[in-house]
Structure 1
Amino acid sequence: MRMRSWVVALATVVLAAAGCKKEQAGKQGGGEQRPLRLGFFPNITHAQALVGNGTGAFQQALPGVELKMFNAGPTAMEALSSGSLDASYVGTGPAINTFLKGGRELRIIAAAVDAGAVLVTKTARTPAELKGKTLASPQLGNTQDIALRHWLGQQGMKVGQDVTVTPLSNPDILGLFSNGKIEGAWVPEPWGARMVAEAGGHILVDERDLWPQRRFHTTVLVTTRQALEQRREQLKKLLRVHVELTRQWQQQPDAFVSRVNEAFGKVTGHPISEPVLKDSFTRLVPALEVVPGQLQQAAEHARQLGFIPSSELTGMVDDSLLKEVLAEGPGPKPTAAPDPAP
């Protein structure tokens, strides 16, 4: 009897240990049971994210997916670094900053949108006419702020001496520009088109003109090294949706832009006027394949301005999942220019 009791007790311990091991594996070995958490912004430069959320495409491909909306890149990247997000659409500036300052754990797995940033002015028609004026950017150290400061330096102007640069929210930029309180601003779309249409602005610089082949990444899709290891199948499903939405934009741009505006209106309560919408999208380009040279150039500009300690980005791009998804079916139209020759 004692022997039988001992055998039963031993079997119970073994089964309990196996159960604990299985539970631990579920928590550590991928967590595929937990829905994916995806971040995005209510910006038309996050076009695929807006449509994917608005049409339910993400929810259909990833049942239970948690979509979290952010208004600033640093906040979204804090959530990604802390483990509160598994992936996010974000601008290249915050992505690079997080990679360099967050233990090089961030990974860019696809491009999303190229171009779509302009310097709009009230009276200035040449760089020299900006001297003594006040310009604005959406946030200190963000993608457009770095572009503006770098460009001013190339024109031989010093910020704080020849020209003032003030970080402001995009709505505040539009209001102050309309009232003549600032001379201009370097902004993403649709704010550039709005400054032109609603406040009589003039596009002094289209940022595309400053880049090889007039292409530069504005929005990318990012995750972490750990998520790539543990949630690879979920991220592949996410990329399938991203690729399909990008193809829709490439192949049926008018219909896709209408869906973007409908989705934008749902999350903000204010759809964009048709003229502003169409003007904005003349400067936005769908993208999939990441061009490391563009990221490297953007990082070097930020380093020269003192916003990041290094421009060494080795390991930041991991396009292995994107290549797998693109190999599953007909490839989309080319979406990224080749790396410029060194």
Structure 2
Amino acid sequence: MRIGFLVASLAALCLAVTGCKKEQAAKQAGGGAEQQKPLRMGFFPNITHAQALVGNASGAFQQALPGIETKMFNAGPAAMEALTSGSLDASYVGTGPAINTFLKAGRELRIIAAAVDGGAVLVTKTARSPAELKGKTLASPQLGNTQDITLRHWLGQQGLKVGQDVTVTPLSNPDILGLFLNGKIEGAWVPEPWGARMVAEGGGHILVDERDLWPQRRFHTTVLVTTQKALTERREQLKKLVRVHVELTRQWQQQPDAFVSRVNDAFSKVTGHPISEPVLKDSFTRLEPALEPVPAQLQTAAEHAQQLGFIASSDLKGLVDDSLLREVMATPSAAPDAGP
């Protein structure tokens, strides 16, 4: 009986040791239950999500992360709701929704890389100065979104009160363009390519190029975000995602004309309508690729939103975590081919 008990104990010990070794090997290989699940990434069908469009269309994300699930959203709040609920692991998104989600959803969101700078303008039909906007109606893409906050803050700086001197109406970008073409609104603060379309199709005038309001004419339009939970449980997968993002950004920096063409091809695939060449080129004169988040820019944007009453605090401590980006940029590129 003692011998039998000894044999059974030894067998159990062997199984336990084997199991521990397997678990350790899985962890070393970037395993764990969460690491084995496909990564889920969100993006918008906008040219301000250029790297996401090209990476999705070229298969670069799929090659680096087999089985990755990409989901398209029309607005930042919906994407951020999916992220905080656990339906997404990462997403490209504007700074406004990112900051809002960080402050209102337990400070769990993390910006892990910048993506696109610039590309927002105030286009008007007749006004050629702030004073000429008095009594007019302007539009923004969504109440409290990045462009809406910028427009309201800028109007205040010009001594114009929203609701008294100027009316600001939140509308979808396609509706903004339609009403502008029909003369129903004076103008709008919009992201590209909508600004370029208002100029090309509606005879609009760029009253304000938002770059002129920022130091060195740079501000983040799009960033890549995740959650602290995903950073802990899916770090190796997110690192691969960041590596592809860096590779695509470098392609944009090194071969801008070729990359812009690929953006339009990808945009056409997801929307069914390519952007006309003049509008595309005009749009990208105001867009720049970006990688490293600039906390000072994010802080300024948060303070503007707080001043307008959209958020109660502008404390962004912990929002940026660029550790993955620094790891990727410190090592030789090992990203899969992200296309020609």
Q: Which amino acid aligns with 1:58?
A: F
Question: Contact (CA 8 Å) 1:30, 1:231: kept in 2 or not?
Answer: no
Which residue in 2 is equivalent to 1:215?
A: 218
* Distance in 1 of aligned mates of 2:84 and 2:14: 37
Which residue in 2 is equivalent to 1:339?
A: none
Q: Which amino acid aligns with 2:99?
A: I
* Distance in 2 of aligned mates of 1:249 and 1:223: 23
User: Are positions 1:190 and 2:193 aligned together?
Assistant: yes
The one of 26, 36, 40 equivalent to 1:37 is 40
Q: Which amino acid aligns with 1:275?
A: P
**Post-superposition CA distance 1:93-128 (Å, at most 9, x none):** 000000000110000000000010000001000000
Which residue in 2 is equivalent to 1:205?
A: 208
Structure 2 vs 1, CA of residues 329 and 12 (structure 1 numbering), >3 Å: closer, same or farther? closer
Q: Which amino acid aligns with 2:182?
A: N
Aligned-pair distance for 1:12? 7.7
**Post-superposition CA distance 1:143-166 (Å, at most 9, x none):** 000000000000001100000000
**Post-superposition CA distance 1:282-321 (Å, at most 9, x none):** 0000000010000000000000000011000001000111
Which residue in 1 is equivalent to 2:338?
A: none
What is the aligned length?
Answer: 329
* Distance in 1 of aligned mates of 2:2 and 2:322: 61
Which residue in 2 is equivalent to 1:171?
A: 174
User: Are positions 1:149 and 2:152 aligned together?
Assistant: yes
Q: Which amino acid aligns with 1:35?
A: P
Q: Secondary structure at the match of 1:313?
A: coil
RMSD: 2.4
**Post-superposition CA distance 1:217-265 (Å, at most 9, x none):** 0000000111111111111110110000000000000000000000000
* Distance in 2 of aligned mates of 1:293 and 1:223: 20
* Distance in 2 of aligned mates of 1:184 and 1:19: 65
* Distance in 2 of aligned mates of 1:168 and 1:30: 42
Aligned-pair distance for 1:329? 2.8
Q: TM-score, normalised by structure 2?
A: 0.91
User: Are positions 1:58 and 2:65 aligned together?
Assistant: no
Question: Contact (CA 8 Å) 1:30, 1:229: kept in 2 or not?
Answer: no
Structure 2 unmatched ranges of 5 or more: 334-340
Q: TM-score, normalised by structure 1?
A: 0.90
Which residue in 1 is equivalent to 2:337?
A: none
Q: Secondary structure at the match of 1:90?
A: strand
* Distance in 1 of aligned mates of 2:206 and 2:267: 24
Q: Which amino acid aligns with 2:205?
A: H
User: Are positions 1:159 and 2:159 aligned together?
Assistant: no
Which residue in 2 is equivalent to 1:340?
A: none
The one of 103, 107, 111 equivalent to 1:104 is 107
User: Are positions 1:235 and 2:238 aligned together?
Assistant: yes
* Distance in 2 of aligned mates of 1:7 and 1:40: 57
Structure 1 unmatched ranges of 5 or more: 331-342
Q: Which amino acid aligns with 1:270?
A: H
Q: Secondary structure at the match of 2:268?
A: helix
Question: Contact (CA 8 Å) 1:46, 1:219: kept in 2 or not?
Answer: yes
